[in-house]
Amino acid sequence: MSHFSSLFEPIRIGSMAVKNRIVMAPMTTDYGNDDQTPSEKLMAYLEARAAGGVGLITMEVCTVDVEHRYLQRSLTLGDDSYIDGHNALIARLHKHGAKVQPQITHPGPESIISFFSSKTAVGPSPVVSPVWGTACRELALEEIPAIIEQYAQAARRAEAAGYDGIELHAAHSYHLIGSFLSPFRNKRRDAYAGHKFEGRTRLILEVVAAMRAVVAKDFPITVRLAGYERIPGGREIDETQRLAPLLVAAGASAFHISGGATDKLVSQIVASSAAGYGFNTALAEAVKRVVNVPVMVVGRIQTPEQAEAVLKSGAADMVVLGRPMLADPEWAHKARVGNSSAIRRCISCENCIDSMNRQSLACAINPFTGRESELLLRKTETPRHVVVIGAGPGGMEAARVASLRGFRVTLIEREHRLGGALLLAATVHDDNRFFLEYLQKAVRELPIEIRLGTDATVELLQSLKPDAVIAATGSQVVLPNNIQLADGVWFGRNVRELLTGRW
């Protein structure tokens, strides 16, 4: 029996029966194919989380317009021809008992259409996207009905593809609906005017009603809202409370409450440790007071203990985990069996966002994220002796993986503690301590021979007779010898002598 009774209690959202209260958040990966269909890489990544025990997986952005991409390799349900491409993905997740829904959106000002054609992104008003630095044009009034229909047809396709529900992206003064909904971006003066509640909420109410009209009456439509946008000129929580019952009347089945508005670093959404744990919980509680449908909350809920506390408090009905699912896809399973101390806990470093600037989503502390189909922990058929030199994070992870694969492992560390540079990093940023403790616990619980306070001399290595040696001794300072400063001072030489103790 689970130690977390509330967390593993089943729940129903419309026709969707979810086995527990754990939801994987929609996180942009750029793992899709170039033709905007689900790739093997994306499917393997999501399947690892489904196999790890999560109840509901909300996929990343799935656009309603094929031309208006969010990223080069994001997904779309903008045409019937894309329906079949989602079937294999859904089947792989259902195999593990997880429910799955796409996040339906029109990127609006965040569309990258101008990178592929001479066309321009669209929005409620001309704004510059903080993500791309590109400007959008204002949608004409007569263009809006066709976009509402695109949303409806995307919902129909999601149901036809076999998804268990959909999530409508309407948060963070971002993408099309979020931009119309926020007075920060919506400067219109027509029927969708941003300075009036009725104007800025009109589009989302029309979209939800249009979606509900083309899907089954109990097909789940979850709406993601920023409870409070936390910017001058943005939406306040009292407006979200006023809007939520109207959305239920229009056809919404549940709410996913976050907070903040999008800036270039998405600092109020993918938040640092400064935001505090569960920092959107009060917003979800405020929405829950005014509706009688399930309410989910996201925002630095990192441990099963924190998640259980949110549910027991009654502030929300489900907890949504983003980065914790990147760090450890088995988060839910480990919580269910009462082994939460074995969870590789997110350190709130935001590398997952920064990595998007390099290629696609990656996790700083889980090298398997996004590489599930290529990095496989298969047991070796030929166990050999592996010696790892250095017990910093790289060395401990190498020793852990080698041991799990069935190799005999000796871990050698000159210092008298496991951790290397991560020991110092944990004193500077407390969240790093969680990763340090995870690795220390992992290598101590595995059949790894640990030799602390030991120099990896040639003689020692020869006596151990290893089949392979992994040098994980950390980074080295590489200094040039030929940078001459004023008065004949040679920068490289003097600093090298200082660092090596010869100066």
Judgement on whether residues 311 and 429 belong to the same structural domain of the protein: no
Judgement on whether residues 390 and 316 belong to the same structural domain of the protein: no
Q: Say how far apart CA 84 and CA 127 lie, in whole Å.
A: 36
Q: How confident is the model at residue 503 (pLDDT cuts 50, 70, 90)?
A: very low
Catalytic residue, candidates 174, 192, 228, 438 = 174
pLDDT at 501 over 80: no
pLDDT at 498 over 50: no
Q: How confident is the model at residue 490 (pLDDT cuts 50, 70, 90)?
A: very low
Question: Which CATH number does the domain housing residue 451 bear?
Answer: 3.40.50.720
pLDDT tens per residue across span 233-242: 999 999 999 9
Torsion of CA 155, 161, 163, 169, to 10 degrees: -30
CA distances from 21 to 147, 158, 294, 305, 470 (A): 33, 22, 10, 13, 42
**Looking at residue 497, what is its pLDDT?**
46
User: Where does 56-176 show beta strands of DSSP type E?
Assistant: 56-63, 75-76, 99-105, 122-123, 137-138, 166-169
* Catalytic status, residue 174: yes
Judgement on whether residues 337 and 397 belong to the same structural domain of the protein: no
Judgement on whether residues 282 and 352 belong to the same structural domain of the protein: yes
Q: Say how far apart CA 194 and CA 186 lie, in whole Å.
A: 5
Q: How confident is the model at residue 483 (pLDDT cuts 50, 70, 90)?
A: low
Determine the residue type at 60.
E
The separation between CA 275 and the C-alpha centre of its own chain, rounded to angstroms, equals: 16
Q: Say how far apart CA 490 and CA 482 lie, in whole Å.
A: 7
Q: Say how far apart CA 454 and CA 210 lie, in whole Å.
A: 69
The pTM of this model reads 0.91
Residue whose token pair is 């920023």 = 226
Question: Which CATH number does the domain housing residue 46 bear?
Answer: 3.20.20.70
**316-326: average pLDDT:** 97
**216-230: average pLDDT:** 97
Neighbours of 405 (CB within 10 A): 15
Q: Which of 357, 377, 411 is the last residue of a domain?
A: 357
CA distances from 200 to 32, 134, 235, 241 (A): 33, 23, 10, 15
Judgement on whether residues 332 and 391 belong to the same structural domain of the protein: no
Q: How confident is the model at residue 478 (pLDDT cuts 50, 70, 90)?
A: low
Range of the domain at 15: 11-357
**Looking at residue 493, what is its pLDDT?**
45
Q: Which two tokens stand for residue 146?
A: 């066709």
Judgement on whether residues 296 and 436 belong to the same structural domain of the protein: no
> Would 5 be classed as within a structural domain?
no
SS3 136: coil
Beta bridge partners of residue 295, listed in sequence order: 255
**Looking at residue 2, what is its pLDDT?**
63
Judgement on whether residues 339 and 412 belong to the same structural domain of the protein: no
> Would 482 be classed as within a structural domain?
no
Do 281 and 297 form a contact (C-beta atoms < 8 A)? yes
Neighbours of 99 (CB within 10 A): 23
pLDDT at 264 over 90: no
478 or 422: which leads in pLDDT: 422
Q: Say how far apart CA 315 and CA 31 lie, in whole Å.
A: 34
> Would 78 be classed as within a structural domain?
yes
Q: How confident is the model at residue 214 (pLDDT cuts 50, 70, 90)?
A: very high
CA distances from 257 to 134, 139, 160, 350 (A): 28, 27, 27, 20
Residues in the chain, total: 503
Judgement on whether residues 337 and 464 belong to the same structural domain of the protein: no
**Looking at residue 416, what is its pLDDT?**
95
The separation between CA 332 and the C-alpha centre of its own chain, rounded to angstroms, equals: 15
Q: Comparing 26-40, 107-121, 307-321, 464-478, which segment has the lowest mean pLDDT?
A: 464-478
**Looking at residue 312, what is its pLDDT?**
98
**Looking at residue 484, what is its pLDDT?**
54
> Would 490 be classed as within a structural domain?
no
pLDDT tens per residue across span 357-370: 777 899 999 999 99
428 or 502: which leads in pLDDT: 428
**10-38: average pLDDT:** 96
Classify residue 268 by its DSSP letter.
T
Q: Which two tokens stand for residue 476?
A: 């080295």
Judgement on whether residues 435 and 289 belong to the same structural domain of the protein: no
Residues whose CB is less than 8 angstroms from the CB of residue 448 and which lie 6 or more positions away in sequence, other chains included:
399, 400, 403, 409, 410, 411
For the chain, what percent of residues have pLDDT higher than 90? 83
**Looking at residue 481, what is its pLDDT?**
61
**Looking at residue 270, what is its pLDDT?**
84
Q: Say how far apart CA 264 and CA 286 lie, in whole Å.
A: 28
> Would 496 be classed as within a structural domain?
no
Q: Which two tokens stand for residue 338?
A: 């009462």
- What does the DSSP assignment read for 453-497? S----HHHHHHH--SEEEE---------S--B-GGG-BHHHHHHH
**Looking at residue 482, what is its pLDDT?**
58
| Pairing assessment for the beta strands 448-452 and 468-471 based on DSSP bridges | unpaired
> Would 484 be classed as within a structural domain?
no
Do 386 and 407 form a contact (C-beta atoms < 8 A)? yes
Residues whose CB is less than 8 angstroms from the CB of residue 107 and which lie 6 or more positions away in sequence, other chains included:
61, 63, 68, 69, 70, 121, 175, 176
User: Where does 314-467 show beta strands of DSSP type E?
Assistant: 318-321, 385-389, 408-413, 448-452
> Would 370 be classed as within a structural domain?
no
Judgement on whether residues 167 and 209 belong to the same structural domain of the protein: yes
- Mean pLDDT, the chain, rounded, equals 92
> What's the domain count of the chain?
2
Judgement on whether residues 130 and 38 belong to the same structural domain of the protein: yes
pLDDT tens per residue across span 102-155: 999 999 999 999 998 999 999 999 999 998 899 999 999 999 999 999 999 999
Judgement on whether residues 396 and 445 belong to the same structural domain of the protein: yes
pLDDT tens per residue across span 42-74: 999 999 999 999 999 999 999 999 999 999 999
SS3 395: helix
> Would 368 be classed as within a structural domain?
no
